[in-house]
Amino acid sequence: MTKKEFYAVFKVLAEYYGAKPTDALMEIYWQAFQNWSLEDFKRACNLIMQTRVYPSLPKIPEITEMIYGRPEDQAALAYETLVKSMRRVGSWETIIFEDGAISRAIEAMGGWETINDWTLDEWKFREKDFEQLYLANLRSGRTEPITLYGAFDRINGATGQEGFNKPVLITREMKFLPGGKLKQIEKKTQVLSLVKKS
């Protein structure tokens, strides 16, 4: 969304809650939401106005929760993304998650190949570990996408062979983009590390 589009929507939100949208206030909120799509920002503002009963202007985390849910919800959805990706892609392929907090949690648990080798029984005990690591990365702002190498690329790299596979990209909308480039990931929204919350 453009700054002009943001200001138009934010002014309505501020006026609805009786707040004066000063330049400084609008700049603070703009910094938080500048990577969001206009549609997501409008939807979050509309939901806030329909459901929030407090008379003051909503804080950034409140608006964020309208789209992303509570941090615990985000962690549960991240786990769902992980499980679907393991089933669909497997340990041989190299992978990039648009939500880098997922990748960093995987790295902390031993890497892409390692977690793909765990049994269902092992996962019963590791799901909470994944969610806690995911939230820790989200809170610390470690959300940039990183590459998790699969077995094929690891073996080829170790033997000095050329021809690495192109990674499979997993977007926040659970779209699988095989053989793509990181530039294909559209940053329509921002995983709000901003709220340093979670």
Domain co-membership, 170 together with 99 = yes
Residue 192 lies in a domain: no
* Torsion 182-180-2-47 (CA) sign: negative
Domain stops at, among 68, 92, 110: 68
The answer to which of 61-75, 141-155, 167-181 has the lowest mean pLDDT is 167-181
pLDDT digits (tens, 9 = 90+) for 117-127: 999 889 889 99
Domain co-membership, 84 together with 24 = no
Domain co-membership, 171 together with 82 = yes
pLDDT digits (tens, 9 = 90+) for 41-55: 999 999 999 999 999
Residue 196 lies in a domain: no
Burial state string for 84-103 with b = 16 or more CB within 10 A and e = fewer than 16: ebbeebebebbbbbbbbbbb
Determine contact, residues 43/63, Cβ cutoff 8 Å: no
pLDDT digits (tens, 9 = 90+) for 58-111: 999 999 888 877 888 889 999 999 999 999 999 999 999 989 999 999 999 999
76 strand-pairing partners: none
Q: How many structural domains comprise the chain?
A: 2
